[in-house]
Structure 1
Amino acid sequence: MQLVKKLEIKSREKIIEFLNSQPAGRIASIDRNGYPQVIPMNFVWADGAIYMHSHPAGEKLDNMLRNPQVGFEVDQHVCFLPSYYFHPTDASQADTLYISVVIKGTASLVRDNGEKARALNALMEKYQKEGGYEQLAPEMPVLQEVAVIKVVPDEMRGKYKVGQHWSRPYRLKMAQNIIDREGLENAKPVLAIMGVVFKDGRLELESDPEM
């Protein structure tokens, strides 16, 4: 994964924070005919690995048992930037603001019931923050009804384009363009990621979007 340095997420902590803020990722394994199989999955980052729960049988598990080298990707589409923001007629100028993380790693099925319970509890903590469930314990028979996939990263890289490569005045100009196209309320989440706030009837730069 070739990265332009100014677009690279330099902080491992920021990468992990981003991973656990996202609802789904995609795992890629190689099938018996050599084709990549890409599957969207719920996941959590915990204890230095990606964990996912799965039905105990299926093609992706067969793929991983045959070849444990996998890819895992998570991305967030922040905002489409139409070409006319940059040029009156040149369609090639259209762009996108985004955040993404790509992992190359080694997959395995978790066999230890203690680790399995910890992983499933971490998934519940991520997706059901309001509680309302009993924590899983290693001795519970229900653990045998689900598979837990673990991916240990060999390489983990992040990339983001959220306006940090623009000058501060140009970032404000782009923020106004986004408001004009999307409306202020729809634009607010994008502006927050760009480090821009709408305050007292005007746009202000609150921070630089560093990751």
Structure 2
Amino acid sequence: MLEVDEVLGVIPSYWVHPEYGGSATAYHRTVIFECEARVAEDSEAVAAQQRRLLARYQPEGGFRPLDPGDPLYRGAMAQLAAVKLGIIRWRAKFKLGQNRPAEARRRVIAELRKRGRPNDGRAADALQWTIDSVRERQGQG
């Protein structure tokens, strides 16, 4: 099982209810993958995986070619394993205040934009999406 969470924002209870503390929550988007894992410990499989990572995240190079026989890499390669996950099933869960009336979500959106923490804009956009997508489905565009 592999779970990927994007926590968009945590809100205080008083944004939703002036007295009830149970309204505090975290808004998030989550995907849960049921997987079959294959583990490879041979140094060439590990090196191939590391090359793919470097190609993606350090495409400019700046390192000696990754060869498991090279003394520079041999020790590290012996301590790593390559894991490949084959996805069997997946499910997504968005907790974006859909259980609250649109007006309550609009108040939270305004508070998020006013507060202005690093992810608050993304959280506000995600909550706005819950309002807009319902309107689109109802043909109110």
Short-chain TM bin: 0.5 to 0.7
**Aligned with 1:136: secondary structure?**
coil
- Higher deviation after alignment, 109-118 or 171-180: 109-118
Measure how far apart 1:178 and its partner are: 2.1
Alpha-carbon distance in structure 2 between the residues aligned to 1:135 and 1:167: 57
Which residue identity lines up with residue 101 of structure 1 in the other structure? V
Match of 1:93 among 17, 23, 46: 23
Q: Does 1:146 align with 2:89?
A: no
Alpha-carbon distance in structure 2 between the residues aligned to 1:111 and 1:126: 22
**Aligned with 2:129: secondary structure?**
coil
Q: Deviations over 1:13-60 (max 9, x none)?
A: xxxxxxxxxxxxxxxxxxxxxxxxxxxxxxxxxxxxxxxxxxxxxxxx
Alpha-carbon distance in structure 2 between the residues aligned to 1:168 and 1:118: 49
Measure how far apart 1:208 and its partner are: 3.0
**Aligned with 2:33: secondary structure?**
strand
Q: 1:103 to 1:168 in 2, by over 3 A?
A: same
Indicate conservation of the 8 Å contact 1:77/1:98, yes or no. yes
Question: Which residue of 2 is the match for residue 158 of structure 1?
Answer: 92
Alpha-carbon distance in structure 1 between the residues aligned to 2:101 and 2:62: 47
Question: Which residue of 2 is the match for residue 208 of structure 1?
Answer: 129
Looking at both structures, which has the greater relative contact order when contacts are Cα pairs under 8 Å and sequence separation is at least 6?
2
Q: Compare the two structures and name the one with the higher helix fraction.
A: 2
Question: Which residue of 1 is the match for residue 109 of structure 2?
Answer: 175
Indicate conservation of the 8 Å contact 1:163/1:194, yes or no. no
Indicate conservation of the 8 Å contact 1:164/1:194, yes or no. no
Indicate conservation of the 8 Å contact 1:102/1:156, yes or no. yes
Alpha-carbon distance in structure 2 between the residues aligned to 1:145 and 1:166: 49
Q: Could you state the TM-score of these two structures normalised by the residue count of structure 2?
A: 0.63
Q: What's the RMSD between the two structures over aligned residues?
A: 3.4
Q: Does 1:75 align with 2:5?
A: yes
Measure how far apart 1:79 and its partner are: 0.8
Q: Deviations over 1:110-146 (max 9, x none)?
A: 2576654332223334554664334535xx3234442
Alpha-carbon distance in structure 2 between the residues aligned to 1:171 and 1:135: 52
Which residue identity lines up with residue 96 of structure 1 in the other structure? A
Q: Compare the two structures and name the one with the higher strand fraction.
A: 1
Which residue identity lines up with residue 100 of structure 1 in the other structure? T
Which sections of structure 1, spanning at least 5 residues, go unmatched?
Answer: 1-70, 197-204
Q: 1:147 to 1:82 in 2, by over 3 A?
A: same
Indicate conservation of the 8 Å contact 1:97/1:163, yes or no. yes
Q: Could you state the TM-score of these two structures normalised by the residue count of structure 1?
A: 0.45
